[in-house]
Homo-oligomer: A and B are copies of this chain.
């Protein structure tokens, strides 16, 4: 392993000159720059990350706490990680993964200076990690929007506005008995921070439009959803539209509609909050309010870098605005 000292000797210059040639922080004449470069090529020199980190007090590593629980969708997590990974690489950072469940370890990578900053995913309401994260001396960004964020920066989709948008679109297309379909899991403690917000948005929009809000919790399996369709849609005809915030339910719902002869845009309209790929992957193409996972990831990273460079602005939160895409499950 060649060191900078070797390069200096080989190029006949001083150590510091090599360093400045590499970093560009001071002017170096083209001639010496070239001699240095050729020495580097000849000796196959690569700067040593740990030495660099020790001297410069920055690792060019970013931490990401990823959940591993069975009940979070692996696809979604992977898309978050991927978007963050790609964006990091673009900014010349590498990514350090740590299990979100192992909070002790998450803290440690920050305390020991293994990473310059941290992104924490999968926040829940009253997340017990928040105080401990807020006390850290380095930048932290949460993906999620807990009611009490302890002064930490947050990034998330604006579920409240998203839900309102969904209801308004259904209403504008003539529906008046608009139910909300969601999973019972979302109300279990600890509950993801978006559960409350989409419900609130749904309720607010209903109130605003003068219709009665009805939130229905159904487990995400085929049988439960089949029963729901049979009883509440076919028999009772309770709803003429559904706002669905329950991704795994969409495919089953589609099959249940088909099986029980519920005509989709005609009898019952549907708008979901979901990523595009799940909206179009099932038996039908679902009109949806887009859940922009990659954007959230990229935004989180951008905020982190912002905090790393300018300690100026106080940490703020950013909620991504909803967009509605009509597809096959709503009328024109």
Contacts and interface: CB of A to CB of B under 8 A. Distances in A.
B94 A97 contact: yes
A74 B68 contact: no
A89 interface: yes
Interface in A68-85: 68, 74-75, 77-79, 81-82, 85
A48 interface: yes
A111 B54 contact: no
Contacts of A74: 74-75, 78-79
Interface string A46-62: 11111101100001010
A98 to B, nearest CB: 6
B89 A50 contact: no
Contact of A49 (B47, B51, B85, B113): B113
A276 B31 CA distance: 63
Contacts of A89: 98-99, 102, 105
Nearest to A105: B89
B48 A68 contact: no
Interface string A108-146: 110111100000000000000000000001000000000
A275 B321 CA distance: 38
A295 interface: no
A95 interface: yes
A96 interface: yes
B68 A82 contact: yes
A86 interface: yes
A49 B97 contact: no
Nearest to A92: B105
Interface of A: 1, 46-51, 53-54, 59, 61, 64, 66, 68, 74-75, 77-79, 81-82, 85-86, 89, 94-99, 102, 105, 108-109, 111-114, 137
7 contacts: A46-B112, A48-B54, A49-B59, A49-B109, A50-B54, A64-B97, A94-B105
Given A68-B86, A97-B97, 20 more contacts: A1-B137, A47-B112, A48-B112, A49-B112, A49-B114, A50-B51, A50-B113, A51-B54, A64-B97, A66-B85, A74-B79, A77-B78, A78-B78, A85-B97, A85-B99, A94-B96, A94-B97, A94-B98, A95-B97, A96-B97
